[in-house]
Homo-oligomer: A and B are copies of this chain.
Amino acid sequence: MKKDEEARPAPGREGGSTAFLLAQLGAHAASRFAEHLGPTGLSPPQVGILRAIGNGAGSSQHALAKRLSILPSRMVVLVDELEGRGLVERRDNPEDRRLYELHLSPRGRQTLESVGRIARAHDEALCAALDERERGQLRALLLRIAEHQGLTPGVHPGMRHVGKTTSDAPQAPSGGRGRRPKKGPP
């Protein structure tokens, strides 16, 4: 398979629009990061939780879930695992006994540093095609867009509710036969 007659949109737009390139590279970056994370046994959302707690955002599970756009019901499971591995501590809050305060254990802090090294190596590998000046240019442009789009710095928006076939779509006049006959004999 050498000759590749690819998707070829409008002239001057080979490789897709800027938006498509961002989505494509973003998915690639996320996927690779998750791979690099493999040896730690942590998922990307868990890394986000560790980072947020490390920055002092562990006042309660609910507040943390809201900040990271993780559902509270899922947060329970994620923190369960982090606590089970001894990376995160749940402490009772005497002033409001409904809340858990989340804290990093020494082991958790150590793991967070290790994740930081992984992230830097990942960033280096991803940007290997560019020199230092170009990386700075790219960062500046991406930051401008991110700010203009109202994205929260340091928070990955996840893939929540990525457009299911909402079925409020124009249905076809049903030109096909009722049931596909399972590719049977003619």
Contact = CB atoms under 8 A, between A and B. Distances in A.
A71 interface: no
B127 A169 contact: no
A151 B129 CA distance: 13
A3 to B, nearest CB: 13
B153 A14 contact: yes
Nearest to A8: B55
Given A19-B29, A26-B24, A139-B21, A163 B34 contact: yes
How many chain A residues sit at the interface, stated as a range, is 35 or more
Contacts of A155: 7, 24
Q: Name the residue in A31, A43, A139, A163 with the highest tally of chain B Cβ atoms < 10 Å from its Cβ.
A: A163
- Copies of this chain, whole number: 2
A123 B6 contact: no
Nearest to A24: B156
A183 B91 CA distance: 11
B44 A163 contact: yes
A116 B9 CA distance: 9
16 contacts: A8-B55, A9-B154, A17-B123, A18-B139, A21-B142, A23-B27, A25-B26, A25-B142, A31-B163, A34-B163, A37-B163, A46-B165, A84-B176, A86-B173, A126-B145, A130-B141
Interface of A: 4-9, 14-31, 33-35, 37-44, 46, 51-52, 55-56, 80-81, 83-87, 98, 100, 107, 116, 119-120, 122-123, 126-130, 134-135, 137-139, 141-149, 151-176, 180, 183
